[in-house]
Amino acid sequence: REAGLEALKDVPSETQDGVNISLLVNTGLQTDVIRSQDRGADGVGLFRTEVPFMLRERFPSEEEQALIYRAQLQAFSPLPVTMRTLDVGGDKSLAYFPIVEDNPFLGWRGLRVMLDHPELFMVQIRAMLRASVNLNNLKIMLPMVTSVSEVEESLALIHRAVMELNEEGVNAQVPHIGVMVEVPSAVYLVREFASQVDFISVGSNDLTQYLLAVDRNNPRVAGIYDAMHPAVLKALKMVVDAGNEANVPVSLCGELAGDPLGAVTLVGLGYRQLSMSSSNLLRVKAVLRQIDSGWAQTVASGLLHLDNPRVVRSTLRLALRKAG
Protein backbone atom coordinates (compact mmCIF):
# COMPACT_ATOMS: atom_id res chain seq x y z
CA ARG A 1 0.00 0.00 0.00
CA GLU A 2 2.91 2.27 0.62
CA ALA A 3 4.64 1.57 -2.66
CA GLY A 4 5.97 4.72 -4.25
CA LEU A 5 5.56 6.75 -1.09
CA GLU A 6 9.07 6.12 0.29
CA ALA A 7 10.39 9.02 -1.76
CA LEU A 8 8.26 11.36 0.35
CA LYS A 9 10.22 10.60 3.51
CA ASP A 10 12.54 13.58 3.17
CA VAL A 11 10.37 16.10 1.34
CA PRO A 12 8.76 18.85 3.42
CA SER A 13 5.32 18.30 4.82
CA GLU A 14 3.60 21.35 3.43
CA THR A 15 0.52 22.30 1.47
CA GLN A 16 0.61 23.78 -2.05
CA ASP A 17 0.50 27.27 -0.55
CA GLY A 18 3.48 26.51 1.70
CA VAL A 19 1.76 25.95 5.06
CA ASN A 20 3.85 23.56 7.12
CA ILE A 21 2.02 20.72 8.81
CA SER A 22 4.04 18.82 11.44
CA LEU A 23 3.53 15.11 11.12
CA LEU A 24 4.34 13.20 14.28
CA VAL A 25 3.96 9.57 15.25
CA ASN A 26 2.16 7.62 17.92
CA THR A 27 4.37 5.03 19.58
CA GLY A 28 4.01 2.32 22.20
CA LEU A 29 6.35 -0.55 21.47
CA GLN A 30 10.05 -0.05 20.95
CA THR A 31 9.63 -1.37 17.39
CA ASP A 32 7.46 1.66 16.58
CA VAL A 33 10.55 3.81 16.97
CA ILE A 34 12.39 2.32 14.02
CA ARG A 35 9.30 2.36 11.81
CA SER A 36 8.74 6.02 12.62
CA GLN A 37 12.26 7.03 11.77
CA ASP A 38 11.91 5.34 8.38
CA ARG A 39 9.07 7.73 7.64
CA GLY A 40 10.75 11.00 8.51
CA ALA A 41 8.45 11.91 11.40
CA ASP A 42 8.83 15.29 13.12
CA GLY A 43 8.86 13.60 16.52
CA VAL A 44 6.49 11.66 18.75
CA GLY A 45 3.08 13.23 19.38
CA LEU A 46 1.89 10.41 21.62
CA PHE A 47 3.94 7.75 23.39
CA ARG A 48 1.36 5.45 25.00
CA THR A 49 3.33 4.57 28.12
CA GLU A 50 0.76 1.96 29.18
CA VAL A 51 2.07 -0.35 26.45
CA PRO A 52 5.34 -1.25 28.25
CA PHE A 53 3.32 -1.56 31.48
CA MET A 54 1.01 -4.09 29.78
CA LEU A 55 3.95 -6.28 28.77
CA ARG A 56 5.00 -6.85 32.38
CA GLU A 57 3.77 -8.80 35.40
CA ARG A 58 4.05 -5.90 37.81
CA PHE A 59 4.56 -2.15 37.76
CA PRO A 60 7.98 -1.41 36.28
CA SER A 61 10.32 0.28 38.75
CA GLU A 62 11.55 3.84 38.34
CA GLU A 63 14.82 2.44 37.03
CA GLU A 64 13.12 0.17 34.49
CA GLN A 65 10.84 2.96 33.31
CA ALA A 66 13.73 5.40 32.99
CA LEU A 67 15.51 2.97 30.64
CA ILE A 68 12.43 2.57 28.44
CA TYR A 69 11.86 6.32 28.28
CA ARG A 70 15.54 7.07 27.67
CA ALA A 71 15.49 4.79 24.63
CA GLN A 72 12.57 6.71 23.10
CA LEU A 73 14.06 10.13 23.88
CA GLN A 74 17.47 9.16 22.56
CA ALA A 75 16.09 7.64 19.37
CA PHE A 76 14.30 10.86 18.42
CA SER A 77 16.63 13.48 19.94
CA PRO A 78 16.62 16.40 19.22
CA LEU A 79 13.02 15.95 18.03
CA PRO A 80 10.36 16.11 20.75
CA VAL A 81 8.86 13.02 22.35
CA THR A 82 5.47 13.54 23.96
CA MET A 83 4.98 11.00 26.73
CA ARG A 84 1.52 10.45 28.04
CA THR A 85 1.25 9.59 31.72
CA LEU A 86 -0.21 6.17 32.41
CA ASP A 87 -3.68 5.86 30.87
CA VAL A 88 -5.15 2.65 32.29
CA GLY A 89 -8.79 1.87 32.88
CA GLY A 90 -11.51 1.90 30.24
CA ASP A 91 -10.30 -0.43 27.51
CA LYS A 92 -6.70 -0.55 28.76
CA SER A 93 -6.18 -2.95 31.63
CA LEU A 94 -3.18 -4.23 33.54
CA ALA A 95 -3.49 -7.82 34.80
CA TYR A 96 -1.66 -6.87 37.99
CA PHE A 97 -3.88 -3.85 38.65
CA PRO A 98 -7.43 -5.04 38.00
CA ILE A 99 -10.19 -2.46 37.86
CA VAL A 100 -13.70 -3.91 37.91
CA GLU A 101 -16.56 -1.50 37.32
CA ASP A 102 -19.98 -1.36 35.67
CA ASN A 103 -18.99 1.54 33.41
CA PRO A 104 -15.24 1.44 32.88
CA PHE A 105 -15.25 4.26 30.32
CA LEU A 106 -17.00 6.51 32.83
CA GLY A 107 -15.00 5.26 35.74
CA TRP A 108 -11.54 5.11 37.11
CA ARG A 109 -9.27 5.74 34.17
CA GLY A 110 -6.31 7.80 33.05
CA LEU A 111 -5.30 10.71 35.21
CA ARG A 112 -8.04 9.87 37.76
CA VAL A 113 -6.19 6.70 38.72
CA MET A 114 -2.84 8.49 38.87
CA LEU A 115 -4.08 11.31 41.09
CA ASP A 116 -5.59 8.74 43.47
CA HIS A 117 -2.20 6.98 43.45
CA PRO A 118 0.31 9.82 43.48
CA GLU A 119 3.05 7.34 44.43
CA LEU A 120 2.63 5.63 41.03
CA PHE A 121 2.42 8.98 39.26
CA MET A 122 5.56 10.27 40.97
CA VAL A 123 7.59 7.19 40.03
CA GLN A 124 6.58 7.62 36.40
CA ILE A 125 7.25 11.35 36.30
CA ARG A 126 10.62 10.93 38.01
CA ALA A 127 11.56 8.23 35.51
CA MET A 128 10.61 10.49 32.59
CA LEU A 129 12.53 13.45 33.99
CA ARG A 130 15.62 11.37 34.69
CA ALA A 131 15.48 9.90 31.20
CA SER A 132 15.44 13.37 29.69
CA VAL A 133 18.55 14.70 31.49
CA ASN A 134 20.93 16.27 28.93
CA LEU A 135 18.47 15.54 26.10
CA ASN A 136 15.59 17.78 27.18
CA ASN A 137 13.30 16.69 24.36
CA LEU A 138 10.64 15.36 26.74
CA LYS A 139 7.08 16.65 26.78
CA ILE A 140 4.59 15.30 29.30
CA MET A 141 0.92 14.91 28.41
CA LEU A 142 -2.02 14.27 30.75
CA PRO A 143 -4.87 11.96 29.58
CA MET A 144 -8.58 12.01 30.51
CA VAL A 145 -8.54 15.47 32.05
CA THR A 146 -12.04 16.64 32.94
CA SER A 147 -11.37 19.70 35.06
CA VAL A 148 -8.82 22.39 35.81
CA SER A 149 -8.14 21.17 39.34
CA GLU A 150 -6.75 17.90 37.95
CA VAL A 151 -4.26 19.91 35.90
CA GLU A 152 -3.25 21.96 38.92
CA GLU A 153 -2.74 18.84 41.01
CA SER A 154 -0.67 17.21 38.26
CA LEU A 155 1.47 20.30 37.76
CA ALA A 156 2.19 20.46 41.49
CA LEU A 157 3.33 16.84 41.46
CA ILE A 158 5.50 17.31 38.35
CA HIS A 159 7.14 20.40 39.86
CA ARG A 160 7.69 18.51 43.10
CA ALA A 161 9.38 15.69 41.17
CA VAL A 162 11.74 18.17 39.50
CA MET A 163 12.60 19.68 42.87
CA GLU A 164 13.19 16.30 44.49
CA LEU A 165 15.51 15.26 41.69
CA ASN A 166 17.39 18.54 41.80
CA GLU A 167 17.90 18.06 45.54
CA GLU A 168 19.26 14.59 44.78
CA GLY A 169 21.74 16.18 42.42
CA VAL A 170 19.97 15.16 39.20
CA ASN A 171 19.87 17.92 36.59
CA ALA A 172 16.15 17.57 35.82
CA GLN A 173 14.34 20.40 34.02
CA VAL A 174 10.67 21.32 33.96
CA PRO A 175 9.44 19.91 30.63
CA HIS A 176 6.68 21.23 28.41
CA ILE A 177 3.42 19.94 29.83
CA GLY A 178 0.18 19.47 27.92
CA VAL A 179 -3.42 18.42 28.40
CA MET A 180 -5.38 16.01 26.26
CA VAL A 181 -8.81 17.14 25.18
CA GLU A 182 -10.73 13.88 24.98
CA VAL A 183 -13.89 14.38 27.02
CA PRO A 184 -16.65 16.90 26.32
CA SER A 185 -15.95 19.06 29.40
CA ALA A 186 -12.39 19.64 28.19
CA VAL A 187 -13.68 21.10 24.91
CA TYR A 188 -15.12 23.97 26.94
CA LEU A 189 -12.03 24.42 29.12
CA VAL A 190 -9.31 25.02 26.53
CA ARG A 191 -8.91 28.65 27.48
CA GLU A 192 -8.50 27.75 31.16
CA PHE A 193 -6.03 24.96 30.34
CA ALA A 194 -4.08 27.30 28.09
CA SER A 195 -3.19 29.52 31.02
CA GLN A 196 -1.74 26.52 32.87
CA VAL A 197 0.04 24.40 30.27
CA ASP A 198 2.25 24.59 27.18
CA PHE A 199 0.18 22.65 24.68
CA ILE A 200 -3.14 20.95 24.00
CA SER A 201 -3.53 17.64 22.21
CA VAL A 202 -6.90 16.36 21.09
CA GLY A 203 -7.57 12.65 21.60
CA SER A 204 -10.21 12.28 18.93
CA ASN A 205 -10.76 8.56 19.62
CA ASP A 206 -12.11 9.16 23.08
CA LEU A 207 -13.61 12.53 22.23
CA THR A 208 -15.72 10.87 19.53
CA GLN A 209 -16.77 8.12 21.94
CA TYR A 210 -17.84 10.59 24.61
CA LEU A 211 -19.46 13.20 22.36
CA LEU A 212 -21.52 10.61 20.51
CA ALA A 213 -22.06 8.43 23.61
CA VAL A 214 -20.89 5.37 21.69
CA ASP A 215 -18.48 2.74 23.01
CA ARG A 216 -15.42 2.86 20.72
CA ASN A 217 -15.02 -0.94 20.92
CA ASN A 218 -18.61 -2.18 20.67
CA PRO A 219 -19.23 -3.69 17.21
CA ARG A 220 -23.01 -3.25 17.60
CA VAL A 221 -22.68 0.50 17.53
CA ALA A 222 -19.55 0.72 15.39
CA GLY A 223 -21.65 2.24 12.61
CA ILE A 224 -22.39 5.23 14.82
CA TYR A 225 -18.80 5.71 15.93
CA ASP A 226 -17.33 8.18 13.44
CA ALA A 227 -15.01 11.10 14.12
CA MET A 228 -16.29 12.75 10.92
CA HIS A 229 -19.65 13.36 12.58
CA PRO A 230 -20.42 17.08 12.12
CA ALA A 231 -20.85 17.50 15.90
CA VAL A 232 -17.34 16.14 16.47
CA LEU A 233 -15.97 18.40 13.75
CA LYS A 234 -17.62 21.41 15.40
CA ALA A 235 -15.98 20.48 18.69
CA LEU A 236 -12.60 20.09 16.96
CA LYS A 237 -13.02 23.54 15.45
CA MET A 238 -13.89 25.05 18.84
CA VAL A 239 -10.78 23.54 20.39
CA VAL A 240 -8.32 24.74 17.76
CA ASP A 241 -9.91 28.21 17.66
CA ALA A 242 -9.74 28.52 21.45
CA GLY A 243 -6.13 27.33 21.41
CA ASN A 244 -5.14 29.83 18.73
CA GLU A 245 -6.86 32.62 20.59
CA ALA A 246 -4.99 31.73 23.76
CA ASN A 247 -1.74 31.29 21.86
CA VAL A 248 -1.23 27.68 22.87
CA PRO A 249 -0.35 25.08 20.22
CA VAL A 250 -3.03 22.49 19.52
CA SER A 251 -2.28 19.11 17.99
CA LEU A 252 -4.42 16.04 17.40
CA CYS A 253 -3.31 12.48 18.07
CA GLY A 254 -6.35 10.26 17.47
CA GLU A 255 -6.88 7.94 14.50
CA LEU A 256 -8.56 10.76 12.58
CA ALA A 257 -5.14 12.34 11.96
CA GLY A 258 -3.96 9.24 10.10
CA ASP A 259 -6.98 9.05 7.81
CA PRO A 260 -6.22 11.10 4.67
CA LEU A 261 -9.76 12.54 4.55
CA GLY A 262 -9.53 13.29 8.27
CA ALA A 263 -6.15 14.98 7.89
CA VAL A 264 -7.42 17.24 5.08
CA THR A 265 -10.40 18.18 7.25
CA LEU A 266 -8.17 18.90 10.24
CA VAL A 267 -5.90 21.16 8.21
CA GLY A 268 -9.03 22.93 6.96
CA LEU A 269 -10.20 23.39 10.54
CA GLY A 270 -6.85 24.96 11.44
CA TYR A 271 -4.75 22.09 12.83
CA ARG A 272 -1.03 22.29 12.04
CA GLN A 273 0.27 19.32 14.04
CA LEU A 274 -1.01 15.81 13.50
CA SER A 275 0.17 12.68 15.26
CA MET A 276 -0.61 9.27 13.83
CA SER A 277 0.41 5.67 13.45
CA SER A 278 3.65 5.64 11.45
CA SER A 279 2.06 3.39 8.81
CA ASN A 280 -0.22 6.28 7.77
CA LEU A 281 2.30 9.09 7.80
CA LEU A 282 3.51 9.07 4.21
CA ARG A 283 0.05 8.62 2.76
CA VAL A 284 -1.16 11.62 4.77
CA LYS A 285 1.86 13.65 3.67
CA ALA A 286 1.15 12.79 0.04
CA VAL A 287 -2.41 14.11 0.28
CA LEU A 288 -1.53 17.26 2.24
CA ARG A 289 1.14 18.18 -0.30
CA GLN A 290 -1.53 18.25 -2.98
CA ILE A 291 -3.99 20.58 -1.30
CA ASP A 292 -4.18 24.31 -0.72
CA SER A 293 -4.84 25.32 2.90
CA GLY A 294 -7.32 28.06 1.92
CA TRP A 295 -9.25 25.57 -0.17
CA ALA A 296 -9.24 23.10 2.73
CA GLN A 297 -10.56 25.79 5.05
CA THR A 298 -13.48 26.56 2.74
CA VAL A 299 -14.29 22.87 2.32
CA ALA A 300 -14.03 22.13 6.05
CA SER A 301 -16.32 24.96 7.06
CA GLY A 302 -18.96 23.56 4.70
CA LEU A 303 -18.67 20.12 6.31
CA LEU A 304 -19.71 21.46 9.72
CA HIS A 305 -23.25 22.01 8.50
CA LEU A 306 -23.89 18.64 6.88
CA ASP A 307 -26.26 16.00 8.23
CA ASN A 308 -24.08 13.02 9.04
CA PRO A 309 -20.60 11.49 8.70
CA ARG A 310 -21.51 9.65 5.51
CA VAL A 311 -22.44 12.88 3.74
CA VAL A 312 -19.34 14.54 5.19
CA ARG A 313 -17.09 11.89 3.64
CA SER A 314 -18.78 11.87 0.25
CA THR A 315 -18.76 15.68 0.08
CA LEU A 316 -15.08 15.72 0.94
CA ARG A 317 -14.22 13.03 -1.62
CA LEU A 318 -16.08 14.94 -4.29
CA ALA A 319 -14.33 18.21 -3.40
CA LEU A 320 -10.94 16.46 -3.56
CA ARG A 321 -11.75 14.92 -6.93
CA LYS A 322 -12.91 18.28 -8.32
CA ALA A 323 -9.72 19.92 -7.09
CA GLY A 324 -7.80 17.24 -8.99
Which residues form the interface with ligand PEP (CB under 6 A)? Answer: 46, 48, 87, 182, 203-206, 253-254
Q: Which is nearer to ligand PEP, 51 or 174 (CB)?
A: 51
- Decide: helix, strand or coil at residue 96: coil
Which residues have CB under 8 Å from 223's CB, separation 6+? none
User: If contact means CB under 5 to 8 A according to the sort of partner, which of Mg ion, ligand PEP, none does residue 242 touch?
Assistant: none
Q: Answer for the pair 174, 132: CB distance below 8 angstroms, yes or no.
A: no
User: If contact means CB under 5 to 8 A according to the sort of partner, which of Mg ion, ligand PEP, none does residue 204 touch?
Assistant: ligand PEP
- ∠ Cα 136 142 143 (to 5°): 140
Minimum distance from CB of 203 to Mg ion (Å)?
Answer: 4
- Decide: helix, strand or coil at residue 138: strand
Separation in Å, CA 18 to CA 136, 225, 252, 272, 288: 30, 34, 20, 12, 11
User: If contact means CB under 5 to 8 A according to the sort of partner, which of ligand PEP, Mg ion, none does residue 309 touch?
Assistant: none
Minimum distance from CB of 294 to Mg ion (Å)?
Answer: 32
User: If contact means CB under 5 to 8 A according to the sort of partner, which of ligand PEP, Mg ion, none does residue 259 touch?
Assistant: none
User: If contact means CB under 5 to 8 A according to the sort of partner, which of Mg ion, ligand PEP, none does residue 42 touch?
Assistant: none
Could you list the beta-strand ranges (E) of the chain. Answer: 22-27, 44-48, 81-84, 138-142, 176-181, 199-202, 250-252, 273-277
Minimum distance from CB of 20 to ligand PEP (Å)?
Answer: 22
Rg of the chain over all Cα atoms, to the nearest angstrom = 19
Which residues have CB under 8 Å from 201's CB, separation 6+? 45, 46, 82, 141, 178, 179, 180, 181, 250, 251, 252, 253, 275
Minimum distance from CB of 6 to ligand PEP (Å)?
Answer: 26
Minimum distance from CB of 40 to Mg ion (Å)?
Answer: 26
Q: Which is nearer to Mg ion, 32 or 206 (CB)?
A: 206
User: If contact means CB under 5 to 8 A according to the sort of partner, which of Mg ion, ligand PEP, none does residue 262 touch?
Assistant: none
User: If contact means CB under 5 to 8 A according to the sort of partner, which of Mg ion, ligand PEP, none does residue 273 touch?
Assistant: none
Residue least distant from ligand PEP (Cβ): 203
- What whole-number distance in Å separates Cα of residue 28 and Cα of residue 83? 10
Minimum distance from CB of 29 to Mg ion (Å)?
Answer: 18
Q: Which is nearer to ligand PEP, 145 or 242 (CB)?
A: 145
Q: Which is nearer to Mg ion, 124 or 208 (CB)?
A: 208
Minimum distance from CB of 63 to ligand PEP (Å)?
Answer: 25
- Decide: helix, strand or coil at residue 30: coil
Q: Which is nearer to ligand PEP, 181 or 319 (CB)?
A: 181
176 beta partners? 139
Q: Which is nearer to ligand PEP, 130 or 237 (CB)?
A: 237
Q: Which is nearer to ligand PEP, 32 or 87 (CB)?
A: 87
Minimum distance from CB of 133 to ligand PEP (Å)?
Answer: 27
User: If contact means CB under 5 to 8 A according to the sort of partner, which of ligand PEP, Mg ion, none does residue 254 touch?
Assistant: ligand PEP
What would the 3-class secondary structure string for 215-283 be? CCCCHHHCCCCCCCCHHHHHHHHHHHHHHHHCCCCEEECCHHHHCHHHHHHHHHHCCCEEEEEHHHHHH
Binding site for Mg ion (CB under 5 A): 182, 203, 206
Closest CA to 41 of 66, 74, 8, 64: 8
Q: Which is nearer to ligand PEP, 90 or 319 (CB)?
A: 90
